Amino acid sequence: MSGPRVRPTPIPGLLVVELPLPGDARGWFKENWQREKLVEAGLPDFGPVQNNISSNQATGVTRGLHAEPWDKYVSVASGRVFGAWVDLREGPTFGTAHWLEITPEVAVFVPRGVANGFQTLEAPAAYTYLVNEHWSPEAEYTFVHLADETAAIPWPIPLAQAELSAKDRAHPRLDEVTPVPPRRTLVLGGNGQLGRALAARWEDRADVDVMSRDQVDLADPASLAALDLSGYGTIVNAAAYTAVDAAETPEGRRAAWAVNVTGVAHLVEQARAHRATLVQVSSDYVFDGLAAVHDEDEPVSPLGVYGQTKAAGDQLVATLPDHYIVRTSWVLGAGSNFVDTMAGLAARGVDPSVVADQIGRLTAADDLAAAIEHLLTARPAAGIYNVTGDGEPLSWAQIAAEVFALTGHDPARVRPVSTAEYMAGREHVAPRPRHSTLDLTRIRATGFAPRDHRETLRERLES
């Protein structure tokens, strides 16, 4: 028996499924919903939670056109219906219509915001539909009239002769319909370097909410319990406990696990429940730094508490079907950072000792934000993507020397030292990966071109 086939329609995301219908003199059998086979054929893994059946006892019964706030998978178990759909989502395809006859060997996937209707052609007809939200009387629907002139649906049985409900007869025409907006995007960690860069990049978008720790504290169970993510289709977690040395103290260890693991676990649970894409920002600290370059498939091997908590959070995020783990290093953005510190020391005549045996690349927060936007737009396969600046890896001491040179000071004033020498005598020092260089092959393959990190450095000092 051949498997199901999925084909697109003029309405984006509206998919027609051709189902095998083997049978004999006794009748037929079909796998109406077989998750593994349908997902492999191209249907979204939309996670149905409720199955409804509409029994239609007379030819001409017509229902719709309703755009519910969830996805649905429609088919018939008996009889025949004429199905019709109108895109009511905000965007260039608003008002696009499509129709076809649905028999037992045909099913249709209807995405959220696309109005759905049908007319019974052969009765009795058992019209069945799976949805990925539990029905609620508080759910907000969007409607369009069955006889809308713009959609111009060619109902086989004229609507004047069909059986319609009073509610369906009262639906508005298309020009009176408010388009269904896209699900919103939430950015957590809005006061951090990446959070600020994302806020600036998306400042003109009305569908983005940026929240700081004052609004959502991933370490606070009460704050997490109050967080309602039902209206969000995308969550970007730019919040994290990043005090790598403090994480080695008893208090810091608890705080790091609370934010980077327990808080992330809550986000994963919510993203799964609401079928949202979760973007998790990860770190080079999940590696021990023994390899000169780290790719996305290298097993994690964190040295300290911070890296351990980030690795654990990543593992939780990876259980979601729709996720991006964006692994980065040495982020340079708004607020206090290494480059500004070195420029200040140079200007004040201070000759710093800087670590020379930790190697990596700088990452502009703006570039990291651009890469996240790219992933959410291009939609490559879910998984881990390394994102840093490109170009020749440098040590912190080499970067400091370049800062001195670019600001008109003698780079020889920077004294290179080993990590052991630099950390000598300090308490609660986190171990650092010696090599933080991340392989960029995978992100380049999606069409994103990271900039040379030396260009990032020059831009920072010129701004």
428 is annotated as an active-site residue = no
What CA–CA distance (Å, rounded) separates 83 from 88?
16
Q: Distance between CA 90 and CA 378 in Å, rounded?
A: 19
d(CA 260, CA 430): 16
Q: Which residues pair with 355 in a beta bridge?
A: 417
- Whether the link from the prior residue into 124 is cis, omega within 30° of 0, is yes
| Residues 384 and 325 sit within 8 Å (Cβ to Cβ) | yes
Q: How many CB atoms lie under 10 A from the CB of residue 236?
A: 27
Helix (H) or strand (E) holding 136: none
Distance CA 417, CA 53 (A): 72
Do residues 133 and 69 lie in contact, with contact meaning Cβ atoms separated by under 8 Å? yes
* Cα angle value 18/20/25 (rounded, 5°): 135
Q: Cα angle vertex 17, ends 149, 69, to 5°?
A: 55
Name the β-bridge partners of 399. Answer: none
User: CB-based contacts of 15: which residues, under 8 Å, 6+ apart?
Assistant: 6, 7, 8, 9, 42, 43, 108, 109
- The residue from 129, 285, 324, 385 that is catalytic is 129
Q: Which helix (H) or strand (E) holds 221?
A: helix 221-225
Q: Which two tokens stand for residue 355?
A: 């670590």
Q: Are strands 106-110 and 72-87 parallel, antiparallel or unpaired?
A: antiparallel
Residue type, 225: A
Set 66, 98, 274, 453: catalytic member: 66
How open is the CA angle 147-148-152, to the nearest 5 degrees? 85
Q: Could you tell me if 216 and 187 are in contact, meaning their C-beta atoms sit under 8 angstroms apart? A: no
Report how far residue 299's alpha carbon sits from residue 295's, in angstroms, rounded to the nearest whole number: 9
Q: How many Cβ atoms are within 10 Å of 407's Cβ, its own excluded?
A: 14
306 is catalytic: no
Crossing angle for the helix pair 338-348 and 453-462, to the nearest 10 degrees: 50
How far lies 225's CA from each of 25, 74, 189, 267, in Å? Answer: 57, 35, 17, 11
Active-site residues, by number, are 66, 129
